[in-house]
Amino acid sequence: MTTTLIEKEEIEQYKFVPAEVDRTQEFASKLSDALRLGNEFKSKTAMTFMTEDGPKRVETTVWSLTEKYIVLKASVLIPMRSLIDISY
């Protein structure tokens, strides 16, 4: 699968769609680690998510997590059900 790297400022231009497989539970531990990395160490996390235009990838700091969303700087939200991959 080919992904396009985008800037976090571009995220809101895309419409999210659910990934083929909902991996929210599987990613729970990685998301917690990404949150800690962002808040304590200002480290970035790479996230790939599904949009209507295909998979997109962003490298950014995770600021917060809710039950259904990943919160980035400037209150940018990524739905967890759209996540394809997380790495740091």
Identify which has the larger pLDDT, 1 or 8: 8
For residue 14, what pLDDT is reported?
A: 97
What's the whole-model pTM score? 0.92
pLDDT category of residue 79 using cuts at 50, 70 and 90:
very high
d(CA 58, CA 41): 18
d(CA 65, CA 28): 10
pLDDT tens column, 62-71: 999 999 999 9
From first CA to last CA, the distance across the chain in angstroms is 19
Q: Say which residues have a Cβ less than 8 Å from residue 46's Cβ, sequence separation at least 6.
A: 57, 58, 59, 85, 86, 87, 88
User: What is the pLDDT of the chain when averaged over all its residues?
Assistant: 95
